[in-house]
Structure formats: C-alpha cells, structure tokens
C-alpha cells in the first residue's frame, strides 16, 4: 500500500474522504468506509 506521512494524510487524505463520505450517491459513501478504516488503523497511534 502507498505510504503518506501523518501531515499529508491530515491535510489532504482525510478531507477528501470526508467529502466522499458526504456524497449523495450511496455507493460512493459506502466505498469510503474501507479507506476511513485503513487510515484510522494505520495512523491511530500517530494522531
């Protein structure tokens, strides 16, 4: 999996996932769940 630092994840990745998670299309919304989970697991001790 590609690696990004915490600063990049906080500034770019999380806002993008929030946008996708707010999409009116339920398929887009559901597709963001796995990515949120990955970010939460990968960075939980760093943030």
Whole-model pTM: value is 0.69
Write down the pLDDT at residue 1.
54
Structure tokens at 28: 């887009």
Domain ranges of the chain: 6-43
What is the longest distance spanned by two Cα atoms in the chain? 32
Write down the pLDDT at residue 25.
97
Alpha-carbon distances of 36 from 16, 17, rounded to whole Å: 10, 7
pLDDT in tens, 2-47: 677 888 888 998 999 999 999 999 999 999 999 888 888 877 554 4
Query: Is the CB of residue 4 less than 8 Å from the CB of residue 45?
Result: no
Structure tokens at 31: 């597709």
């Amino acid at each position: 999996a590609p690696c990004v630092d915490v600063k990049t994840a906080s500034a770019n990745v999380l806002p993008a996932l929030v946008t996708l998670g707010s999409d009116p299309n339920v398929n887009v919304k559901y597709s963001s769940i796995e990515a949120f989970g990955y970010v939460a697991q990968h960075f939980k001790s760093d943030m």
